[in-house]
């Protein structure tokens, strides 16, 4: 029984962690370049709809997953245009994205699916595939841990790739410098605007992938409340992780563990379902209370950079 429950817990973590991790890594890129992006939630929501819609009409979950990322990148481009080129308040711009993303997603859903705010449920063939299906008996520890979505393990590999980009490449050095001393970067010939555009668009792309994973693996359809605060939880994980990919991974695993506990106890009468639903959000609040200010926030984060003419 213990091994079975452990397998179920790990399985729940492998399903709930990837969208948080993808969005969190995207947030890392934006924040470290000096642009606050609290519009992660909106980017995930639009990515969730586009991913579900494309998969529904094409029957290809991978195509839907990629297109969900492109939808998030579009909102990332808008956020970059407003914040980097127009020097708008980044918090207000991100808040606007959080209204635009869900609003546009619901508008498109009603336009495409006969005035319904919910998309039709996806067939199994149209969802993201699982790997090693049939290798392990259903319900076994191996089935729960290994026979899961490859995106789950790819997201962990992506952490290593992002760490390498951040700390071992010339672009990563410029990215971090743009978030710390943009004026010095310009003096050295580094185009801060280009660096920030790339990072904010990439932030949107990864957030869109996270949203698409939710509808293509977890929920199997788009609904207006499908993301339910996961974008803000991802931001909390980034703060907990001190704006680093490896720290963000730890934060996302903690939140994924909380969701796993919620899923594991959800079928029992031991704890009220309402209390279980509160767990991830209570942990988010505690994270913001105890870890905001504890990590190194990029010096120029949230400060519009105006190039000297």
* pLDDT reading at 290 higher than 70: yes
* pLDDT reading at 294 higher than 60: no
Higher pLDDT: 63 or 257? It is 63
Rounded CA-CA distance 278/284 in Å is: 10
Tens of pLDDT, residues 55-73: 999 999 999 999 999 999 9
Percent of the chain exceeding pLDDT 90 equals 67
Higher pLDDT: 266 or 130? It is 130
Tens of pLDDT, residues 155-168: 999 999 999 999 99
Tens of pLDDT, residues 72-106: 999 999 999 999 999 999 999 999 999 999 999 99
Which string of b and e fits 30-58 if b means at least 16 CB within 10 Å?
bbbbbbbbbbbbbbbbbbbbbbbbbbbee
Tens of pLDDT, residues 26-65: 999 999 999 999 999 999 999 999 999 999 999 999 999 9
Task: Tell the CATH topology of 2-291.
Answer: ABC transporter involved in vitamin B12 uptake, BtuC (1.10.3470)
Categorize the per-residue pLDDT at 195 as very low, low, confident or very high, splitting at 50, 70 and 90.
very high
Q: How many CB atoms lie within 10 A of CB 186?
A: 16
Query: Count of alpha carbons within 13 Å of 227, Cβ hemisphere only?
Result: 32
* pLDDT reading at 111 higher than 80: yes
State residue 292's pLDDT score: 64
């Amino acid at each position: 029984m213990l091994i079975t429950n452990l397998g179920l817990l790990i399985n729940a973590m492998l399903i709930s962690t990837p969208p948080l991790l993808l969005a969190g890594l995207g947030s890392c890129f934006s924040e470290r370049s000096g642009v606050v992006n609290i519009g992660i939630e909106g980017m995930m929501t639009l990515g969730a709809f586009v991913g579900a819609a494309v998969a529904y009409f094409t029957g290809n979950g991978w195509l839907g997953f990629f297109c969900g990322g492109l939808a998030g990148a579009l909102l990332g481009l808008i956020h970059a245009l407003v914040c980097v080129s127009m020097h708008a308040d980044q918090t207000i711009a991100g808040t606007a994205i959080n209204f635009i993303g869900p609003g546009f997603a619901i508008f498109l859903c009603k336009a495409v699916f006969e005035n319904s705010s919910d998309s039709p449920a996806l067939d199994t063939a149209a969802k993201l595939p699982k790997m090693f299906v049939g290798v392990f008996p259903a319900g076994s520890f191996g089935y729960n841990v290994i026979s899961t979505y490859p995106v789950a393990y790819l997201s962990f590999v992506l952490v290593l790739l992002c760490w390498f980009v951040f700390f071992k490449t010339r672009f990563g050095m410029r990215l971090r410098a743009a978030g710390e001393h943009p004026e010095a970067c310009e003096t050295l010939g580094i185009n801060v605007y280009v660096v920030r555009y790339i990072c904010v668009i990439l932030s949107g792309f990864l957030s869109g992938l996270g949203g698409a994973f939710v509808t293509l693996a977890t929920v199997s359809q788009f609904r207006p409340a499908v993301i339910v605060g996961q974008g803000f939880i991802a931001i909390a994980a980034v703060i907990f992780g001190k704006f680093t990919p490896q720290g963000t991974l730890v934060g996302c695993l903690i939140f994924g563990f909380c969701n796993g506990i919620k899923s594991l106890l959800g079928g029992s009468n031991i704890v009220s379902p309402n209390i279980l639903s509160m767990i991830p959000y209570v942990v988010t609040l505690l994270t913001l209370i105890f870890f905001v200010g504890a990590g190194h926030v990029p010096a120029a984060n949230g400060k519009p950079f105006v190039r000297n003419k």
